[in-house]
Structure 1
Amino acid sequence: MFEEIDVQEAIIKSLQTEKNAMNFYQLGATKMKDPDAIRVFNVLAAEEREHAGHFYKIYKGSSIPDFDEFIDAPPDYESTWMVALSRTINSDFTEQKALELAMSKEQNLEKTLRETAAKIKDENVRAIFEMNARETHNHYEMIESEYARIMAMVHESDIDTYVRE
């Protein structure tokens, strides 16, 4: 049975979260030195913008009249995404720490998206939340792979080779 939730409120919250994630990756990329890590964060920022667009398309409210104006507005430095990144930047910033933080944020977001989807009756709206949850999981895997590279760990594609030898 579906728990009653304010779907438009959930959409606008998700829209804002995707913008916060985009801003997180944009700022994180500017602090990195490793070209591949920068590329990963830039790809993730672009995909978060795309995710926000998915939510905007199903948004029926009027508090966000223009998507581009909303998405290009300055970051919300009080958001949990930006506060966490600021702490990392203000301490001893490394790509490793940024990637660890990103993995944690993506795992939490995937969980939230799946929980929200489970509470939505409208199949089309629920499908957007579920799609974004899957794509968020893919983000986690992309970050995890980059983390393994940065940490000089065995890449998942090489596991069989090492296990057999």
Structure 2
Amino acid sequence: MSIDVQEAVKRSIQTEKNAMNFYHMGALRMKDPDARRMFETLAREEREHAGHFYRIYRGSDIPSLDAFLDAPPDHQAAWMSSLERLIESDFNEKKALELAMEKEKNLEATLRETAAEIEDGEVRAVYELNARETHNHYLLIEAEYARIMGMVDESEMDTYVRE
């Protein structure tokens, strides 16, 4: 299977923007100050991830990364639409963290799959870096979830979070 590397990079920039918007919007609704700070941190890191991809993007349709990232969110994007559905139903920190873990786990898998298909070493390295950082996001969210849930032992994560 052949992959259009620049199209993949452009999609990755958009995905990181969607994740940034997800965490920003989620942070605004968090009542718990530690959970809110974590979502704010993740929003900043997703912006950095978009920058990693932007540096290897050769297209000319995104002349300014800041302007692109500061544009209004794409409410049709999976990251945003899933958060908006949660907000419309019964948003709480537990459910937001569960959704964030699911999103990060899926994104990590996608980044690793894409990296495996890319021959260009520089581009592959960016995907691998972002996959590792995405995995770290998952671990950070998982730890916050454990705190919110009042878990005192790592083994409790298996019951509530891990499959």
The verdict on a shared fold, with TM-score over 0.5 as the criterion, is: yes
Q: Match of 1:17?
A: 15
How far, CA to CA, are the matches of 1:80 and 1:46 in structure 2? 19
Gaps of 5+ in 1: 157-165
Q: What's the CA shift string for 1:13-35, capped at 9, x where partnerless?
A: 00000000000000000011000
Aligned length, in residue pairs? 155
Q: Match of 2:32?
A: 34
How far, CA to CA, are the matches of 1:155 and 1:105 in structure 2? 24
Gaps of 5+ in 2: 155-163
Q: Match of 1:71?
A: 69
How far, CA to CA, are the matches of 2:99 and 2:91 in structure 1? 11
Give 1 or 2 for the bigger CA radius of gyration. 1
Q: Match of 1:85?
A: 83
**1:150 matched to 2:148:** yes
Q: Match of 1:160?
A: none
Shift of 1:155: 5.2
How far, CA to CA, are the matches of 1:27 and 1:155 in structure 2? 30
Shift of 1:154: 1.6
How far, CA to CA, are the matches of 2:51 and 2:152 in structure 1? 36
What is the alpha-carbon root mean square deviation over aligned residues? Answer: 1.1
Moved over 3 A (4+): none
SS in structure 1 opposite 2:11? helix
Percent sequence identity is 69
**Partner amino acid, structure 2, of 1:84:** S
Match for 1:104 among 86, 102, 110? 102
How far, CA to CA, are the matches of 1:154 and 1:147 in structure 2? 11
**Partner amino acid, structure 1, of 2:4:** D
How far, CA to CA, are the matches of 2:99 and 2:149 in structure 1? 15
How far, CA to CA, are the matches of 2:33 and 2:149 in structure 1? 15
Shift of 1:4: 1.5
Q: Are the counterparts in 2 of residues 145 and 155 from structure 1 also a CA contact under 8 Å? A: no
Q: Match of 2:160?
A: none
How far, CA to CA, are the matches of 2:153 and 2:70 in structure 1? 36
Q: Are the counterparts in 2 of residues 149 and 155 from structure 1 also a CA contact under 8 Å? A: no
Shift of 1:111: 0.2
How far, CA to CA, are the matches of 2:153 and 2:27 in structure 1? 22
SS in structure 1 opposite 2:117? coil
**1:120 matched to 2:114:** no
SS in structure 2 opposite 1:118? helix
SS in structure 2 opposite 1:153? coil
Q: Match of 1:5?
A: 3
